[in-house]
Amino acid sequence: MTLSDFAVFDEAVRPLFGPSPRLELLHENTVYPFAHEAGVFIERNNTLIITSNQYPVSSDPAECAAATATAGKKIQITRVHLPSDAASTEVVCEEIEPTDVHMANGGVNYGDGVLLCSQGTKATEGALVYMDAEPPYATRTLLSTFYGRSFNSVNDVVVHSDGSIWFTDPIYGYEQGIRPPPQLPSQVYRFDPQTKGIRAMADGFGRPNGICFSPDETTVYITDTDWIHGDGTTDLTRPSTIYAFDVATYARQPFLINRRLFAMADTGIPDGIKCDMHGNVYSGCGDGVNIWSAGGVLLGKILVEGGAANFCFGRSGAMYILNECRLYRATLASSTKGALLRL
């Protein structure tokens, strides 16, 4: 890969890229789209937890029986053992099958493990499920309903420093035939594991998708991917948009105020979203990873043919980009660190 993989729209992006940015293919799987969502980097053992896109199950009788509630589709979770250093591109991919995680999508670091968005099936509730990051990948469900009403298809999740869990819940699962008709609007929620309280925090979305906090947690960024529906149809007049909200406190509780259009993706949709420690905003879009300043100015792009649904920061300027059948590593400036892990 060459410098042509790194598009500059504003000079402010050059220090983020560094003097010698690289984009390298780490792994390719032509059998199914193994690298779609989650992208959770586990620093202590240099691994990555990722989830696949939906794909048809095989003719294996056991899989066919289990697929009745998922319209004949499957999502695979993979643990990727990453290269030992920046000079290597050797990875080992380990397919894992944790219990109680049904049609997994987004994920985030949580305690010593991973918090996964279990979209659910026609027979099982959507849920937030904790999974150990190492064998035997034990799981426990943290939340599965909004006071008895089923979530639509829990999509993406982030954890605040106060311990609260924020997540999005669009209707994609119903449109894709893996979930029953929606029982709730397409909204954003906050769950407090200590009190078990769950609140709706933001509505008015077509299909809320990615979510992240600014480094100081005063701003929440949420993507609306209404441009593409679950059946694959698109509508150029619908949002492919990132919204920003300020986090305010009333009666000792957080509220989201001052909703504003932060940015619009020019190619495809802004899916997974992250901030760096400088406050810049990154999102996986139809042409790769797009980068905006905290003021909403498009600074640059890491161009990936076929786009990127999601990505995550690793150590010292490493970024792992999920491109469906391919996993890439972008090497940026060592000072470019993700706000989530601050590595």
User: Which H, E and C letters describe 281-317, residue by residue?
Assistant: EEEEECCEEEEECCCCCEEEEEECCCCCCEEEECCCC
Of the pLDDT bands very low, low, confident and very high (cuts 50, 70, 90), residue 59 is: low
Mean predicted confidence (pLDDT) in 55-76: 77
Mean pLDDT for the stretch of residues 44-72: 82
**What pTM was estimated for this model as a whole?**
0.96
pLDDT of residue 57: 87
Q: Which residues pair with 27 in a beta bridge?
A: 327
pLDDT tens, residue by residue, 111-138:
999 999 999 999 999 999 999 999 999 9
pLDDT tens-digit profile of 303-337? 999 999 999 999 999 999 999 999 999 999 999 99
Given pLDDT bands bounded at 50, 70 and 90, which one contains residue 66?
low
Calculate ∠ Cα 130-212-323, nearest 5°: 80
Peptide bond preceding 254 in cis form (omega within 30 of 0): no
Q: For the segment 176-200, what is each residue's pLDDT rounded down to a tens digit?
A: 999 999 999 999 999 999 999 999 9
pLDDT at residue 109, rounded to an integer = 98
pLDDT of residue 1: 41
- Check: CB of residue 48 under 8 Å from CB of residue 336: no
Q: Which domains does the chain have, with CATH numbers?
A: 25-271 (2.120.10.30)
